[in-house]
């Protein structure tokens, strides 16, 4: 879901012509049973995510311990150090993509943002991303607040619907004798 769809600045309209609510607005207006179901689903997903992160951290610790037990300069130690580096890189990438997917980040292309962050070395010692540096380096990868609504006529050379109204509606009304 995009930041625009999830924010109060939603410019989409419902079938009845009213503004589409954000997910949070919709959820607050839903009955208590729906709210409880959604809250439970989020708890399950967050628990799974926490479990995965704990497993990755535990695996990284085990690799460090096994590496330390091996003889300095041995082939096995070099292989384990390489695996530890790969695991750390995979963890950093997974954390990056999780942050990029958050609506408040507003990232429209996480893969290109990842490549940009690597290119400009936008990570601190702990692996945290400097999102401002990434946004400054590649602003086109992030949504702008209050993006204008689309125009169906853009790209057709017509510049959108004529000022007098919808052409097809006018043709149908004329044929039906309504005008």
- Cα distance between residue 173 and residue 176, in whole Å: 5
* pTM, full prediction: 0.52
* Residue with the larger pLDDT of the pair 133 and 85: 133
| Distance separating the N- and C-terminal Cα atoms of the chain | 43
Handedness of CA 134, 136, 139, 143 (dihedral sign): positive
- pLDDT at position 95 is 87
Asked if residues 84 and 118 have their Cβ atoms less than 8 Å apart, the reply is: no
* Residue with the larger pLDDT of the pair 154 and 120: 120
- pLDDT at position 171 is 82
* High-pLDDT (> 90) share of the chain, %: 17
Residue of 134, 120, 51, 56 lying closest to 89 (CA atoms): 56
Q: How many CB atoms lie within 10 A of CB 114?
A: 20
* Residue with the larger pLDDT of the pair 97 and 158: 97
Mean of pLDDT over the chain: 79
**What dihedral angle (degrees, nearest 10) is formed by the CA atoms of 144, 145, 146, 151?**
20
Average pLDDT over residues 129-135: 93
- pLDDT at position 151 is 62
- Cα distance between residue 106 and residue 75, in whole Å: 44
* Residue with the larger pLDDT of the pair 53 and 150: 53
Helical ranges in the chain per DSSP H? 3-6, 23-29, 32-69, 75-100, 110-119, 131-137, 167-176
Average pLDDT over residues 56-78: 83
- Cα distance between residue 123 and residue 77, in whole Å: 27
- pLDDT at position 4 is 46
- Cα distance between residue 166 and residue 29, in whole Å: 35
């Amino acid at each position: 879901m995009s930041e625009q769809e999830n924010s109060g600045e939603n410019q989409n309209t419902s079938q009845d012509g009213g503004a589409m609510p954000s997910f949070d607005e919709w959820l607050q207006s839903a009955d208590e049973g729906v709210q409880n179901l959604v809250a439970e689903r989020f708890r399950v997903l967050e628990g799974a995510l926490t479990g995965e992160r704990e497993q990755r951290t535990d695996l990284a610790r085990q690799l460090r311990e096994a590496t330390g037990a091996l003889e300095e300069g041995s082939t096995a130690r070099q292989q384990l150090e390489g695996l530890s580096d790969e695991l750390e890189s995979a963890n950093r990438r997974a954390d990056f993509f999780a942050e990029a997917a958050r609506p408040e980040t507003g990232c429209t292309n996480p893969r290109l943002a990842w490549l940009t962050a690597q290119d400009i070395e936008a990570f601190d010692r702990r692996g945290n991303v400097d999102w401002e540096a990434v946004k400054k380096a590649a602003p086109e990868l992030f949504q702008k607040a209050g993006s204008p609504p689309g125009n169906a006529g853009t790209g057709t050379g017509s510049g959108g619907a004529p000022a007098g109204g919808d052409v097809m509606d006018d043709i149908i009304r004329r044929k039906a004798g309504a005008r």
